[in-house]
Structure 1
């Protein structure tokens, strides 16, 4: 079965304290749904109109488990702290192999 991935690009952060409040419950929800945070941070380089904003990659055992985790009540509850505090581009994709 192919794995599923969240690819999260933080476009802007206007309230860093709110982002800090999101991290613990957001991470807990990700882990509770079988997610593994593979990478996170500011890119070492950005090419082809890429932004130098924070990126996070999370792996799940399947595409469906990635979707289910994002749509779960506990993860959605963690996102409340980000309203008005940050803009993100979140995409869920299926692995190649």
Structure 2
């Protein structure tokens, strides 16, 4: 049976992490907590490494910074291509 993948917002992830930590603190086992949260254990560990200790605002800011970083990387790549093209034109290799 294939499960449907869904995207969680950073706020949802942090909420689920808090809920899971609370359940673990009450003595629940991780596989049971993951079943209740409807995530895999791998997802739990990945989320905890990525978002552990963050607040909702921190996660939102991280997401904004990652988007901005991707945009800037794209700009740098485009500029590098422009520079290479201009160098080729300058050499007369067109």
TM-score bracket relative to the smaller structure: under 0.3
TM-score (normalised: structure 1): 0.24
TM-score (normalised: structure 2): 0.24
The structure richer in strand per residue is 1
RCO higher in structure (CA 8 A, sep ≥6): 1
